[in-house]
Structure 1
Amino acid sequence: GSKQSYIPALPPLTRCNRDSTIIKFWRKASPCGSNLAELDHVTGTNEGHNPRPSTSRGTQRLYIRLNTLHYLLAQINSLEKSLSQNPSLVPPTKHYFINSQRSQSTKKGSYFEIVNTSLPAACQHVSEVAAYRLIFLDSNSVFYDSLYIEDVANARIRPALRILKQNLTLMTTLLVDRAQPLAMKEVMRASFDAFLMVLLAGGNSRVFNRSDHVMIQEDFESLNKAFCTCGEGLVSENVVEREAAVVEGVIELMSQNTEQLMEDFSIATCETSGIGGMNINGQKLHMPPTTGRWNRSDPNTILRVLCHRNDRTANYFLKRTFQLPKRR
């Protein structure tokens, strides 16, 4: 399998019309707002301060496979060293072509060159698949399906963090020491991708006000801290900061006023479409393609921030420019 098999499909873009039907329904059903205790009850995480890990058996089997790969890698390296100390054994001969004439030269190489190349690649792949399965499948109910649903203040990241920490503890218990740094780094990447999808591809059930960026920033800092503190430095703070840069940029976009977002979007769209210049000269803006490489200067990323902005100005801009449908 691959990580793409666990990432949900992107929902269609819609405009977040203020006081839409879904928001009115939510307010009518929960006039006082939901709370974290209710969310814990719904997601099954209300088990004190030590909730059970959500790691499935399938993900645990991937951890065992990862241990096996690292065991093979260690044994191959040991066998390679033993063979190299035996002068009667010669590694495979390599052939070179020089000046269109075939010449053969013997060069000391590896006895297991192909294996030594393929095993690390296999470790990388299994770590990645296990991480995306853990976040987007095993933890889906407390992360992508719950975070910021309907209201940021009452659906924050705390329940997801509690489950995440339990899953990370189980992961480091099951994995051998050599496998842990890469596995932890891939879980961090998967978590950041899930956080981005919540902000930019959250569907009709998520709306954001400009003021929400403060709480979202706090939640993301808590998520970063989880990877800096879990596993006694398995992922360095520099690596966490580098991987977090894209999400930080999107949160900065969410802190901007709607007029600034509209201007940034127009400029970015003109630059990528070849129109050029800050003045679009009345030319119609084209819908930017979804590349999946989200960042704060990408027009599709800015458009998605506008689509989730609970604001009349953003709603009118999206209706006039792209005729995006209202949320149902």
Structure 2
Amino acid sequence: MQFLESVFFPALGLSPSTAQAVNAWVHFCMYVSTGCKEQRLVKQLKQHISKLATAAAEAPLRGSDPFGLALDGAPAPAEEISRDGALAAQVANHIVDWVYGRLCGYHVAFPKGENLAALLDVFVFACKSRGDGPQRLAELLVEAVCLSATSSFQQQMRARMDPGAPNEARLLEMASIAHDIHDADANIFCPALAPHMPAALAVAAVQMHILYGQHLVPWLGISKSISPAVLDVFRTANVLEQRLTGPITMAGGGGGSAAASGLHPPAVAEVVSSFRRWDLSNPLKAALLQWVGVQVSNTATWTARALQTEKWKPMGSGPDVAHTSSAAEVSRMTLEALDALYGMDVPMPAEVPQALLEGIDAVMRKYVTHVNEKLGALQRLIPPLPQPVRYKKDIVVKNEQAEREAGRNSVKGGKGKMAFLSSVPTVESSPDFTNISASLTPETLTAAACSLHFLYGRAEALVQVARERQLQSAAVHSLALPQPASTAGSAKCSPAKSEGSSSIGEAPEPLLHARTALMTGMQYACKFLATRVVFWDQRTPWLELLYRHHVTQPASRIDPVLEGLHMVLGATCPGLPDAVRTAFAKHLMVASVQAAERVLLDGGPCRWFMPADVQAIDQDMHKLRALFHADGDGLDRELIDSELERVRRLLPLMRVEVGPLMDMLKTARTHGTAQLMAPSGGPGNVYDESTILRVLVHRPERTGSKMLKSAYKLPKKAK
């Protein structure tokens, strides 16, 4: 080549520019003939093309020196300059075309990236030698990257894809191909492209995103159900998109980003800014919500079946196993549904676990409804109030004498005559006797209360588990929402839009309604059990025998009743969880106070109280308080005192002699209420007409009886 340059080319009369073009072409042909493997030829080719590009850039300058004042002497004629430029451009065009063809398939042409960097230098110098500017060079490189990625993707699809495979299997294999190509781009090809196009990896990632999306997006439109294969596609597509998004984001692309246009040539900025994420969220959410609907429906069906066959027996003898099998089954099913949801290991839209928890909420509330309907109203357990009657001494004495002769607990006297004057109906006469006695036993009610308490605890645990699993899922998976196209005018949110978006509240507290219903249901079951103990099982001791005829008789005092309560507490409480035990004890105390208040105000025709009896009644209330306080091991003293206040408030009124009591009743009848002066002389309690009347009804004085007869038409016997 030195001989050609120093002797042959001058002898032929070739200008330096023409000689450089011939040199470049000869070296290029030699390089191609070696299979593009000779590194020395590449270096020389780069030198010649570089000189050719420099000469092409300097030619116009020589034309501007007509007097030959430059160092190289007089310029060549314009015709020669034009001819030399055309030849140089023609050589450059051939080199560019040939290299461009190789670059459009560089994944195949240079599988290991060998000589790619050097050939890219040749390509760039050749483009410059024919007059291409930076923008045109960027356009050619962008086209080459996109075409090579497309060619490689299609070629590997033909080689690796099974045409008869299901759509999901094909998409998984295509994702593997995309990962392989992106690996090659990141590690082999784009480092060679980076000196000439720094955003080459971003351009390649956008093109790969488009190629895979052409197959993924149609599948997303038809995928409506959940299966292992479908979940694999969602997981794989999300991972692929996150990987491809990395270099695109670094290049400032996505969503019509204005940053990309300022950082890169227009051709690069156009590609990078065109990036739009796949809408994985909505199709995945729709499929998951359909799955959630099926799970909730199945759980509701299984819960209904479990309740239909429930025997309401505890699973064991301790507080931890005091619940029933149906409660355990509901807990198991709901936790398994939550585990199955997060076990899918896919990006989890927040609406999906929220929908599952809402379904579980409904299932648990139906469980509470079933228990409440099984129990029914409390009034089934409480007998009606006896008819108020006025005192008639001969009737009272006759009835008390008949009871004494027949035996206090005997219902019938001699010759079939009634000896025991009942204040309330017996439980056997209730229309609900069979149902309550057979189906609502204390053991059944205890099991129901413990089951509701167990589910309440499981609901709280389920909420905590759901929160933890959602945080774990968010840390592992990142599901990007599709970006809407933005413009310069929409770069800033309008105040109206911002205000509207901030008004949207957070999602409601999970399982809030279920937990409230379960807690309320547990309290109601305990209240039902306590009411049954006092007003059903112990109806006679409370409503018939307590303070019957004479308060001061030992058999009429509260001690036998408290003994019965103590036995119930001792037999029931040890097997209950703490919360259920406390609730039952509280409601049993409340029911006992209600029964005591009823005895004092609506005790029926066999209860007569004198002012002197108040001290004994007050002592009995202290005994009742001591039973439930249990020396500090039971209920709080403040809670007991707040309930007993209703009874203790009656005691000052019961101490009033019959004359002042009648005056108070007259005042209350006129004004609605009457005030009782305190012993200290200050204002005391205020009582309504009904309370004063019912206290007077239980006074064994003739004067009070006459007033009740004349003013209120009360009979002397119950009808």
Fold-level similarity (TM above 0.5): yes
Q: CA deviation at 1:304?
A: 0.6
Q: Find the counterpart in structure 2 of residue 187 from structure 1.
A: 588
Q: Does residue 168 of structure 1 match 2:168?
A: no
Question: Is the Cα contact below 8 Å between 1:246 and 1:296 reproduced in 2?
Answer: no
Q: Does residue 10 of structure 1 match 2:385?
A: yes
Q: CA deviation at 1:15?
A: 0.6
Bigger CA radius of gyration? 2
Q: CA deviation at 1:73?
A: 0.9
Percentage identity across aligned positions?
A: 27
CA distance in 2, matches of 1:129, 1:311: 39
CA distance in 2, matches of 1:318, 1:26: 22
- 2:619 corresponds to which of 196, 218, 227: 218
Q: CA deviation at 1:106?
A: 5.2
* Amino acid of the structure 2 residue aligned with 1:64: A
Q: CA deviation at 1:216?
A: 1.5
CA distance in 2, matches of 1:320, 1:102: 72
1:228-239 alignment runs, 5 A limit: 228-229=629-630, 232-239=632-639
Q: Does residue 79 of structure 1 match 2:467?
A: no
Q: CA deviation at 1:21?
A: 1.7
CA distance in 2, matches of 1:311, 1:323: 16
- 3-state DSSP of counterpart to 1:183: helix
- 3-state DSSP of counterpart to 2:544: coil
Q: Find the counterpart in structure 2 of residue 280 from structure 1.
A: none
- 3-state DSSP of counterpart to 2:384: coil
Aligned-residue RMSD, C-alpha: 3.0
Question: Is the Cα contact below 8 Å between 1:127 and 1:186 reproduced in 2?
Answer: yes
- 3-state DSSP of counterpart to 1:141: helix
Q: How many residues align?
A: 279
* Amino acid of the structure 2 residue aligned with 1:307: V
Question: Is the Cα contact below 8 Å between 1:23 and 1:150 reproduced in 2?
Answer: no
* Amino acid of the structure 1 residue aligned with 2:389: T
Query: 1:109-130 deviations in whole A, cap 9, x for unaligned?
Result: 4221221221111112112111
Q: Find the counterpart in structure 1 of residue 452 from structure 2.
A: 69
CA distance in 1, matches of 2:397, 2:500: 75
Question: Is the Cα contact below 8 Å between 2:610 and 2:655 reproduced in 1?
Answer: no
Q: CA deviation at 1:226?
A: 0.8
CA distance in 2, matches of 1:296, 1:135: 29
* Amino acid of the structure 1 residue aligned with 2:530: A
Query: 1:92-116 deviations in whole A, cap 9, x for unaligned?
Result: xxxxxxxxx9867251542212212
CA distance in 1, matches of 2:526, 2:386: 27
CA distance in 2, matches of 1:218, 1:245: 14
1:60-209 alignment runs, 5 A limit: 60-85=443-468, 86-87=470-471, 88=473, 105=504, 107-154=506-553, 155-209=556-610
Q: CA deviation at 1:74?
A: 0.9
* Bigger relative CO (Cα 8 Å, ≥ 6 apart): 1
Question: Is the Cα contact below 8 Å between 2:463 and 2:510 reproduced in 1?
Answer: yes
- 3-state DSSP of counterpart to 1:187: helix
CA distance in 1, matches of 2:540, 2:386: 18
Question: Is the Cα contact below 8 Å between 1:15 and 1:326 reproduced in 2?
Answer: yes
Q: Find the counterpart in structure 2 of residue 318 from structure 1.
A: 708
| Large movers: runs of 4+ above 4 Å | 101-104
Q: CA deviation at 1:28?
A: 6.5
Q: 1:241 to 1:296 in 2, by over 3 A?
A: farther
Q: CA deviation at 1:61?
A: 1.1
* Amino acid of the structure 2 residue aligned with 1:122: G
State TM-score, norm by structure 2: 0.36
Q: 1:5 to 1:312 in 2, by over 3 A?
A: same
Q: 1:157 to 1:296 in 2, by over 3 A?
A: farther
- 2:647 corresponds to which of 237, 247, 261: 247
State TM-score, norm by structure 1: 0.76
Q: Which runs of 5+ in 2 are unaligned?
A: 1-375, 410-419, 421-436, 475-498, 676-684
- 3-state DSSP of counterpart to 1:8: coil
